[in-house]
Chains A and B, each alone.
Chain A
Amino acid sequence: MKRTVLGLAAATIALAMAGGLAQAQTPKRGGTLNFGVVAEPPNYDCHGSTTFALIHPIAPHYSLLVKFDGKDYPKVVPDLAESWSVAPDGMSYTFKVRKGVKFHDGSPLTSEDIKASYDRIINPPPGVVSIRKSYYSDLEVSAPDPSTVVFKLKNPMAGVLEALASPYNCIYSAAKLKQNPRYPETEIMGSGPFTFVEHVKGASWSGKRFADYYDKGKPYLDGYKVFFVKSGGVVPGIIGGQFDAEFRGRNPQEKAQLLDKMKDNLSVFEGTWVNNLMVIFNTQRKPFDDVRVRQALSMAIDRWGGSEALSKISILKFVGGVMRPGYAMSLPEAELVKMPGYSKDINKSRDAAKKLLEQAGVKDLKFKLLNRNVPEPYTPAAIYSVDQWRRIGVTAEHEQLETKLYQDRVAAGDFDVAIEFQADFMDDPTAQFSKFLTKKLSPAGYSGHTDTKIDDMYEKQRRTIDVAERTKLVRDMERYALTQAYNVPLLWWQRIIVINKKIHGWYMTPSHYLWQDLSTVWLDPQ
C-alpha cells in the first residue's frame, strides 16, 4: 500500500513493519493457507458478481489482463499482459499478451481468450449477467494477433487501466465460452496460480498449486483452503487454529479479542478502506428538497468527534468527503473542513444548523431514517446519527429493515432519509460518484435530485484524461456535491486485518477485493 494515507501514523507503522519483515526473508515453498470467508458465493461467475465472497475463494483460480499492485496501490501492474502502450491521443490501448500461458486444462491462453472474456463483459449473450457492462460501454476489444489485444475507445475515458484491472474481469477460455457462455457460473477453469479442488457447500473451498502457472516458481503455497463461516465465527476460528486469516476486515473489538488471546502470533494491518457510509436525503420529499435543511442535518453531525469514538467500537473511522481521505484526487483536509458538516467546531456548526432550519421555516422536524439491518457498521451509524440530530431538536425514527426490503424502498424512493454505503474495488471518481448523480444517469441515484449540473461535471471528468486537470474537476465536483448535500458522506471505514504471523507475502490495500490471487503468499512455520 502506498503511503498516501496521510496522518494515519499508527496504520502506516503497522504496515511498514509487516511489509519489512516479509521483504527481509526469502519465500519458502509449501504449506496450505487456511482462511475464513464470512459469506459464500452464490455462483462462480466473476463477471456477474459484486461480492468479496466470490473474490476471496475464486480469485486464485483466475488471471486478469492487468492488476492492481498489492504493494503499491493504486499502481497497475502486468498480469496476463506483459506490457502495454497507449496511443498519443489516449484513444486506444494495446496490450502485449504473455506467451506460453496455459489454462488449467493445459490449453494455451491467447489474445482470443481475453477478447472473448471482455466481449462477455461488454456485450453479454442472453442469459449471462454482466454487472459492470455500462462501465465498459466505451470500449471495443479486438485481437489482431494471438499475442496482441487492443482496446479502442469510442469516447475519451479516464482511468482505463484501472477499469481493466478490475478483480472481477476474470479471463475465461474462449473455446469453453463458445460451447457454453455460462460455464463460469458452475465450473472453474482459468489460468490463475491455483487449480480448483472442491467446494463443499456451506463449509469450505479448496485449491491446489498450478504447476504450469506462467510465473515460474510461484505460487509458493501447495494449496489453500477457505472456510465459510459466519462473521461471528472468525475470532473463534483463528483462536481455535482452524484457520489463520480473514481478509475482508474485522472490527476493533475482534482485533482486541484476538490480540488478547494470541498476542505474539499475529500480524496486524490497519488502514483506510475504500468504503464509506453516507446519508441520502430524499429530495422528492419535503423538506429535504431544501438545501438548507440538508446542510443543517449534515452540520448537526459531529464527524470528527464521532470518528474518535466510533472507531473504537465499529469499523467507522475516517472523516472524508466523497473521495477516500488520502486518495490523490480527494479534497485536502484544509479544504474539507470548510464544507458544511465538516467543521471541527461542532458547537458552532450546530448553532448554524439550527439557524438554517429556522430560516427554512422548519420546526420540530421529524422523519424516519431508513437503514438495513446489518449490524456492522450500519446500526452504529444510525444510532449515532439519531443521537446527533436529537441535539439540534430533530427527531429521527430509525427504521431498520432487512436488506431486501431496504433495497425495495430506496429504489422506489419510498423513504425520508436513508443510510447508504459506497464500496468499490478502487478509488476512481467515476465509480465513487455513482450514487451522487441523477436517476437518469445512474440507477443508484437514490436521492432523486434532478440537478443535471452534477451529471455534467461527472461526464466531464470521466472524459478528461489529463490527471491534473481531472483532479481539479473532481475536486470541484466534490465541493459542489458536498454543498448541495443531496447525499452526505458520514464516515469512511477502517480496514483491520489480523492474521497469523506465519503468513507472509500478503499485502494490504485499501480494498478487500484486490491482490487476493495469493500468488505471492507463503508460510513460515517457524
Chain B
Amino acid sequence: MATIATTATDTVPKRPNPVWQFIKAEPSGVAGLFMILLYVVFAFGAAGISPYNPEEIDFAGMLSSPSAAHWFGTDQYGRDVFSRIVYGSRTALAVGILSAVIGCTLGALIGAASGYFSGRIDNAIQRVVDIMLSFPIIVLAMVVVAVLGKRSAFGIDFNLIAAIALPIVPRMARVSRASTLSIVAMPFIDAARAAGFGHSRIILRHIVPNIVAPYLIMVSASMAQAILLEASLSFLGLGVTEPTPAWGLMLSGASADFYQTAPWMILFPGVAITLAVFAFNLFGDSLRDWLDPKLKS
C-alpha cells in the first residue's frame, strides 16, 4: 500500500490475522464463503463429482424420479439432473465472476476518472451514467443480447457476459466516483499534485488503493446479481444454449410441461440458483459490514 494512504490505518491496533478476524466477526459471511467454495469445487471438479455426462441422452431412463442412481432424478431426455446442476455451477460461476469483475473494474475506472478530473469530463460521464441507470437491468441486458447476438469461445458466450456486465458499470461508477471525490478532497492528494506527480500515478497509487474496499463489496454484490440475471436470460431463451447445462435454462421452455409429472426438474435447479445467490449475498453483506468501519476510520 502507498505510504501516505496507510497512515490512516496505522493508528488502528495491529490485526494479528485479518482472516481470523473476519471469521470471528462475521460467522454468516464465513458460511456464505463456505457455500461459494462448495460451488467452486463443483465447478472445477465437475467431471469427477458428477456421476453422468450432463449432455448424454438416455431415453430408457427419461423422467425418472430421484433415486439412488439419479439423486435429483432425470429430465425428459433422461439426462441426470444432479450432473447438470454440478456442471451448471461452471456456467453460473464463469458468467457471474467474469461479468461482475469486468463490469466493476470498468465502472471503478470510469468513476475514478470522473471524480478525479471533475469539471466537464465528470459532467459528460455523469450524464452517460444517468442514461444507463434509467434502464431497468434486465431491459438493458436484453437489448444488448439482441444487438450483439452470440459469440462464444471456450464454451462461454462473451456477448452474454457483456450484456450482464454492462448494467453493473454505471452502478459501480457511481460508487467509485463518490469515494474518489472524498479522497481527492484530502490534503495528501494536493501534496502529491504539488510534488509534480502525473495523473496516472496519482490515480493508481493513491486513489485506486482507496477504492478497493467499495470495489470488493460491489464485486461480491454484483456476482449475486449477475448469476440471477444469467438465470433470467437463459430462462427467456436469450442466454446459455442447450445442451450446455445451466440452471436458468433447465427451468425454461418445455420444463413447464412437466410441472406435475416431474417436479424435480424445476425444483432442484431453482434451489441451486437460490443457494448460490444467497451465498454471494451473505458473503457480500458481511464483507461490507467488515470493511465499512475501516473505511470510516
Contacts and interface: CB of A to CB of B under 8 A. Distances in A.
Instruction: Please tell me whether chains A and B touch each other in their complex, using a CB distance cut-off of 8 A.
Output: yes
Interface in B46-97: 55-57, 59, 62, 76-77
B6 interface: no
Given A313-B77, A401-B149, A405-B149, A376 B254 contact: yes
Interface residues of A, number: 31
B55 A387 contact: yes
Nearest to B78: A309
A401 to B, nearest CB: 6
Interface in B119-165: 146, 149-150, 152
Interface stretch (B23-31, B204-212, B255-263, B281-289): B255-263
Nearest to A306: B59
Interface string A213-244: 00000000000000000001000000000000
Nearest to B55: A387
Interface string B234-271: 00011001111000000011101110110000000000
Given A373-B237, A399-B241, A402-B238, A383 B149 contact: no
A399 B77 CA distance: 19
Contacts of B56: 387
A383 B243 contact: yes
A398 B242 contact: yes
B77 A257 contact: no
A253 B253 contact: no
A253 B254 contact: yes
B73 to A, nearest CB: 15
A290 interface: no
Interface string A302-332: 0001001100111000000000000000000
B243 A398 contact: yes
A382 interface: yes
A400 interface: yes
Contacts of B242: 379, 382-383, 398, 400
Residue of B59, B152, B258 with most chain A CB atoms under a 10 A cut-off: B59
Interface in A255-288: 256-257, 260
Contacts of B254: 251, 253, 313-314, 375-376, 379-380
A464 B91 CA distance: 56
A375 B150 contact: no
B60 to A, nearest CB: 8
B243 A386 contact: yes
B256 A309 contact: no
Given A257-B257, A382-B242, A387 B150 contact: no
Interface centre among B56, B77, B146 (most CB of A within 10 A): B77
B113 to A, nearest CB: 35
A44 interface: no
Contacts of A251: 254, 257
B230 to A, nearest CB: 16
A386 B55 contact: yes
A188 B18 CA distance: 76
A219 B244 CA distance: 52
A44 to B, nearest CB: 28
A254 B252 CA distance: 16
B260 A312 contact: no
Given A313-B62, A387-B56, A401-B149, A254 B241 contact: no
Given A379-B242, A382-B242, A398-B241, A256 B150 contact: no
A232 B152 CA distance: 30
A253 B243 contact: no
A183 interface: no
Contacts of A256: 261
A53 to B, nearest CB: 20
Identify which of B57, B257, B260, B261 gathers the most chain A CB atoms within 10 Å of its CB. B257
Contacts of A314: 254
Nearest to B256: A232
Interface string A102-137: 000000000000000000000000000000000000
A477 to B, nearest CB: 33
Contacts of B253: 375-376, 379
A310 to B, nearest CB: 8
Contacts of B252: 375
A65 to B, nearest CB: 40
A251 B57 CA distance: 20
B258 A253 contact: yes
A375 B250 CA distance: 12
A405 B149 CA distance: 8
A84 interface: no
Given A380-B76, A383-B77, 5 more contacts: A373-B241, A376-B254, A380-B77, A384-B57, A398-B244
9 contacts: A256-B261, A257-B260, A309-B62, A314-B254, A376-B254, A382-B243, A387-B57, A387-B243, A398-B243
Which 4 residue pairs across A and B have the least CB separation, nearest first? A375-B253, A309-B59, A253-B257, A313-B76
Interface of B: 55-57, 59, 62, 76-77, 146, 149-150, 152, 237-238, 241-244, 252-254, 256-258, 260-261
